[in-house]
Amino acid sequence: MTFNKYTLGAKFCRKANNGGSVCILIEENSYFTNINMDKYSKEMDIEICAIKILTSSCTIIVVTIYRSPTGDVTYFLNTLETAINPLFNNSTNIVICGDFNINYLSDNKKSETPC
């Protein structure tokens, strides 16, 4: 599969569980740097990658995340916070996208935020 005019900016690929990964595609002529998030990724619980985009007016960090429906919600939320904290500052915009597989509209224990 090819994506004309786009390049792979960042990725996390599963090694043990086939059929999943996350990636960020970015327009070919965009200036970006890959942010290595491998140490935060744990297959099924949190799969994460990120890039930093520098424009003439701002800095944007794009983070893509996946959590399997069978993944550990508490581990996911704690690791997400740990991964995002070093990226945060007042001059950077952070965009988080992905599939968390947490239904906050459902009344169940999986959607409860840990204390």
* pLDDT 10s digits, 95-112: 999 999 988 787 555 555
pLDDT at 87 over 70: yes
SS3 at position 48: strand
Average pLDDT over residues 62-89: 95
Q: What's the mean per-residue pLDDT of the chain? A: 89
Does an H or E element contain 82, and which? helix 73-84
pLDDT at 83 over 70: yes
- Hey, what are 87's tokens? 């990226």
List CB contacts of 64: < 8 A, sequence separation 6 or more: 10, 22, 23, 24, 48, 49, 50, 97, 98
pLDDT at 115 over 50: no
Average pLDDT over residues 60-89: 95
The vertex-45 CA angle with 43 and 49, nearest 5°, equals 65
SS3 at position 47: strand
Q: Which domains are present in the chain?
A: 6-102 (3.60.10.10)
pTM of the model as a whole: 0.85
